Structure 1
């Protein structure tokens, strides 16, 4: 069995796509996934599976909860590589954000330059857009338009969440 990190996009946000993690964990365990762990309500899952669980999880969520979120599945080695590639490892966890993408982004440099603030910095490494936003992301024009700048769908997690997922993987 392999360890997978599953990132659900757009769940439990603004009262939409409600997906209680405790209930989801029971559904996933009932479907045969092993060592299922979830973290906070934003759709972070670590589990063991014989094969990539994306299609099965998508179907289970649709059947049990009535919607299908976008799902990004990373194998342990891929996730570990994303963590190792973080160019902002020494910075405060809440100011560093990972935007995970299924395919490599094609950054629209013109849009990005128009939206990025003077305090924000970024690096693209393979399929992860790393953003350092020391002033937070709540009012960031770049974050509000991140997918338009990347040209692909993305799901973001801050470094604190990524570190927690890393710990969960180690204990799987």
Structure 2
């Protein structure tokens, strides 16, 4: 059995696409997943599964959510090793920053640097971003809500063909912890 996190994009934000966490847990258990737990109300679930890969698990959740709730939700599924690597490989000094200043945008597929070559990085300073393995790390000193760089990076032409969903650093670290081995 492998432990995964499911990252649901755009639910329970601004009153739209409401997905009660208890209903999400029940739906996931109905799909045969075990040890299902949700984290916060903004679309994270941790579960174990012995069948499928990340892509097929995400597709199954996407389909089941659409059938149950009547709207489409993009889902990315990642295992503990990946989530821990994202936290460990952060190119910014995470321990020295407030969680609201650092974010990770998870992508559904690998992203080539050329996709972001047009971004005039100096125009957004002191905000910065770096690419990793299916992730974009964003340093936004004034927070995501005030970030001009985050707004620019979210433009459809930069994310075309991808599912992209962003989490603050507290959530990045927590998901790595929740999917990790249970202490003895």
Scaled by the length of structure 1, the TM-score of the pair is 0.89
Q: Which residue of 1 aligns with 2:42?
A: 42
Q: Does 1:99 align with 2:126?
A: no
Deviations 1:7-40 (A, max 9, x none): 1111112222111112111221233210001111
1:153 Cα deviation after fit: 3.6
Q: Does 1:139 align with 2:146?
A: yes
1:96 Cα deviation after fit: 0.5
- Structure 2: 5+ residue stretches without partners: none
Q: Number of residues paired by the alignment?
A: 171
Tell me how far apart the structure 2 counterparts of residues 168 and 69 of structure 1 sit (CA, whole Å): 22
1:108 Cα deviation after fit: 2.7
Q: Which residue of 2 aligns with 1:117?
A: 124
1:139 Cα deviation after fit: 2.1
The answer on whether the counterparts of 1:35 and 1:48 sit within 8 Å (CA) in structure 2 is yes
Q: Which residue of 2 aligns with 1:166?
A: 176
Q: What SS is found at the alignment partner of 1:122?
A: strand
Tell me how far apart the structure 2 counterparts of residues 170 and 73 of structure 1 sit (CA, whole Å): 15
Tell me how far apart the structure 1 counterparts of residues 4 and 121 of structure 2 sit (CA, whole Å): 36
Tell me how far apart the structure 1 counterparts of residues 12 and 77 of structure 2 sit (CA, whole Å): 19
Q: Does 1:157 align with 2:167?
A: yes
The answer on whether the counterparts of 2:36 and 2:45 sit within 8 Å (CA) in structure 1 is yes
Structure 2 vs 1, CA of residues 109 and 83 (structure 1 numbering), >3 Å: closer, same or farther? Answer: same
Tell me how far apart the structure 2 counterparts of residues 22 and 135 of structure 1 sit (CA, whole Å): 33
1:115 Cα deviation after fit: 8.7
Cα RMSD after superposing both structures: 2.0
